[in-house]
């Protein structure tokens, strides 16, 4: 054998070893990330257990209703069209055809899709149960991850319980717990991202994994990852470098889904412009009263349902009727006033900076560009988890005993109010 051939073989072996090493590192870091889903103490176990019970009851009520209701498009979410009907949009085949707004969304739902198909071959149709219970489980883990974040930020055990309960009372937490949607996955992956970031366990492999998970679910998350890199690295060159080295995994997988653009152009005969961004442009509005939508749709509805019978998607939901009680608006105003106060007092905290950046990017996308502005409430899962986090920081920061107790009592009272109102609206809409 010639020296040239031996050298070529050695080089190939080195490349193979390097690829195997990278894959092993990715696998190890993937396991490390998702090991955060395992409760580490009794308090986390309690939060997870009660969350499972809470969302399981909501899921059962919803699934009972589905049997008698052909229009289950709750508040504009696309669960029904994704997984039911003669031509469900959520399928691996449609990823390649670029027929959904979030092509990698289907890929991330692969385990549930595969199990649904397997059971379907046996003549058993339980796909609704699989998807909804999967979503309920994901939301349960979201509450535990939020609790973890609060504890990592040195929020007391009592206040961490309080803020987690408060988040669980939100209208769109209840709603998303029974949705097969990209928004739920964004909430889940973002909370995981914050847990790993706060623990300072990030590296090139975790960065690649989170870029794939977050941007694969919603493309605008690329801006949030870039913003996070700037906040964490503090220097322009290092931030850009970190962002660029987090791209490869996503880029490799995206190549396969990008085949859908060619399908839309050559098979469906769409021009290149429409093949790539027609859905985005169709969902972008600029001539609309954004100031009203900012308070009503973006800030109020995700926390507190407006309609007592209009959670099922319809004209009543689109118009966002006035709240039935005069107490609701002051309660919401109190919450957001406390959030602003927390941002001011905790402006140097990394989590506060990331929260401001994430919310600012959403405001730019929806109220600057106008993307989805008429349904801004649907995107609340991208940012509203920062509300209990910032409130937890606020209560921890307050040193005056009476002021702290007043804020705690206010949040506790509002939590009870939200639970009663939102669960009533949700259940009443299902049986309406």
pLDDT in tens, 113-156: 778 778 777 777 777 788 888 899 999 999 999 999 999 999 99
Environment class of 69 (CB within 10 Å of its CB; exposed 0-12, middle 13-18, buried 19+) = middle
How far CA 174 is from CA of 55, 56, 146, 295, 322, in Å, comes to 8, 11, 15, 20, 21
d(CA 202, CA 350) in angstroms, rounded, equals 15
pLDDT in tens, 181-237: 888 999 999 999 999 999 988 999 999 999 989 988 888 898 999 999 999 988 889
How far CA 69 is from CA of 136, 156, 221, in Å, comes to 20, 44, 34
d(CA 332, CA 414) in angstroms, rounded, equals 9
pLDDT value for 68: 47
More confident residue, 98 or 77: 77
This prediction's pTM: 0.88
How far CA 170 is from CA of 130, 303, 305, 328, 425, in Å, comes to 24, 4, 9, 13, 12
Given a contact cutoff of 8 angstroms between Cβ atoms, the answer to whether 295 and 301 are in contact is no
pLDDT value for 316: 47
pLDDT value for 208: 93
Residue 67 has pLDDT above 90, yes or no: no
Given a contact cutoff of 8 angstroms between Cβ atoms, the answer to whether 77 and 179 are in contact is yes
Q: Where are the domains of the chain?
A: 40-271+282-431
More confident residue, 309 or 122: 122
Mean pLDDT of the chain: 82
SS3 (DSSP) at 5: helix
Residue 91 has pLDDT above 50, yes or no: yes
């Amino acid at each position: 054998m010639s020296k040239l051939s031996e050298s070529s073989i050695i080089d190939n072996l080195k490349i193979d070893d390097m690829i195997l090493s990278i894959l092993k590192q990715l696998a190890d870091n993937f396991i490390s990330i998702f090991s955060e889903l395992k409760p580490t103490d009794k308090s986390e176990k309690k939060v997870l257990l009660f969350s499972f019970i809470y969302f399981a009851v909501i899921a059962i009520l919803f699934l009972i209703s589905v049997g008698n209701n052909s229009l289950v498009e709750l508040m504009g979410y696309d669960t029904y069209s994704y997984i039911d009907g003669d031509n469900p949009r959520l399928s691996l085949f449609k990823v390649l055809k670029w027929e959904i707004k979030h092509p990698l969304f289907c890929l991330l739902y692969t385990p549930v899709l595969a199990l649904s198909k397997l059971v379907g071959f046996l003549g058993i149709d339980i796909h609704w149960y699989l998807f909804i219970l999967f979503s309920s489980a994901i939301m349960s883990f979201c509450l535990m991850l939020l609790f973890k974040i609060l504890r990592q930020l040195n929020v007391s055990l009592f206040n961490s319980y309080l803020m987690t309960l408060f988040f669980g009372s939100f209208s769109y937490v209840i709603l998303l717990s029974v949705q097969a949607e990209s928004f739920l996955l964004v909430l889940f992956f973002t909370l995981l991202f914050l847990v790993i970031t706060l623990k300072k366990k990030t590296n090139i492999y975790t960065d690649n994994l989170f870029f794939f998970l977050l941007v694969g679910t919603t493309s605008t998350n690329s801006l949030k990852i870039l913003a996070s890199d700037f906040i964490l690295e503090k220097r322009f060159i290092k931030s850009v470098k970190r962002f660029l080295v987090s791209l490869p995994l996503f880029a490799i997988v995206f190549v396969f889904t990008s085949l859908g653009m060619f399908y839309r152009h050559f098979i469906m005969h769409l021009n290149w412009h429409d093949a790539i961004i027609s859905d985005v442009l169709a969902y972008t509005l600029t001539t609309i009263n954004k100031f009203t939508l900012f308070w009503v749709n973006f800030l109020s509805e995700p926390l507190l349902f407006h309609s007592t019978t209009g959670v099922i998607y319809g004209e009543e939901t689109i118009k966002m009727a006035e709240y039935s009680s005069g107490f609701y608006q002051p309660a919401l105003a109190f919450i957001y006033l406390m959030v602003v106060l927390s941002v001011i007092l905790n402006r140097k905290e990394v989590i506060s900076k990331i929260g401001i950046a994430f919310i600012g990017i959403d405001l730019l996308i929806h109220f600057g560009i106008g993307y989805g502005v008429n349904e801004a409430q649907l995107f609340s899962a991208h940012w509203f988890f920062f509300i209990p986090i910032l409130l937890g920081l606020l209560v921890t920061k307050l040193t005056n005993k009476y002021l702290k107790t007043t804020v705690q009592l206010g949040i506790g009272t509002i939590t009870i109010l939200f639970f009663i109102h939102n669960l009533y609206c949700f259940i009443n809409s299902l049986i309406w």
